[in-house]
Amino acid sequence: MSDTTTTAVTGRINGREQTLQIDNADLLLDVLRDLGLRGAKPSCEMEVCGACTVQLDGLPVSACTTLAAEIDGRDVETIEHLDADGTLHPVQEAFLRHSALQCGFCTPGMVMTAKALLEQDPDPSREDVVHWLEGSICRCTGYATIIDAVLDAAEVMRRAR
Ligand code: FES
Ligand code: FES
């Protein structure tokens, strides 16, 4: 009898194609964390806080409400991939320059969301940044330094083009 509760999915995770045998109900966040990719955090687990944000085909998604089966044939990028070449991403460097993190719990999700924004729009307004980060909750920083950091990263990335 065939097993209808599990399925094989093949997706590119942080640039590497991987085939995973998953339960149909598995959530992407759990699968990533089982792979050792623990930057995306479980928190609200209802798509409210943004702590679990990763990029799926370049757009930010809440891994806590995304089925792992949805990555089939697609690209997943997590915070762990950003310094894979040994250098921080400009968004990460800007967060450090602006002290845009305190406890750091929200930071991977914030950075992945900001990176996706800058890939879509290299020259966002302050309002654009606020809009994109609406789904990311930070209990520490008060947000101003995070917004400053994203705008600074945008400028650095534009100058480097
Ligand atoms: S843990 Fe996914 S949005 Fe909060
Ligand atoms: S830095 Fe602590 S929650 Fe954002």
Contact call for residues 76 and 12 (beta carbons, < 8 A): yes
The reply to whether ligand 2 has any atom less than 6 angstroms from the CB of 154 is: no
The reply to whether ligand 2 has any atom less than 6 angstroms from the CB of 51 is: no
Average predicted confidence (pLDDT) for the chain: 97
| Mean pLDDT along residues 114-134 | 98
| Mean pLDDT along residues 115-139 | 98
Name the residue of 106, 113, 147 whose CB sits within 8 Å of the most ligand 2 atoms, as the mutation to test its pocket.
106
Nearest to 59 by CA among 154, 146, 137, 132: 132
Interval between CA 48 and ligand 1 midpoint (Å): 6
CA distances from 152 to 78, 145, 147 (A): 22, 10, 9
pLDDT band at 2 (very low <50, low <70, confident <90, very high): low
pTM here?
0.96
Question: Which domains does the chain show, CATH number per domain?
Answer: 6-81 (3.10.20.30), 90-159 (1.10.150.120)
Give per-residue pLDDT as tens, 44-94.
999 999 999 999 999 999 999 999 999 999 999 999 999 989 999 999 999
The reply to whether ligand 1 has any atom less than 6 angstroms from the CB of 153 is: no
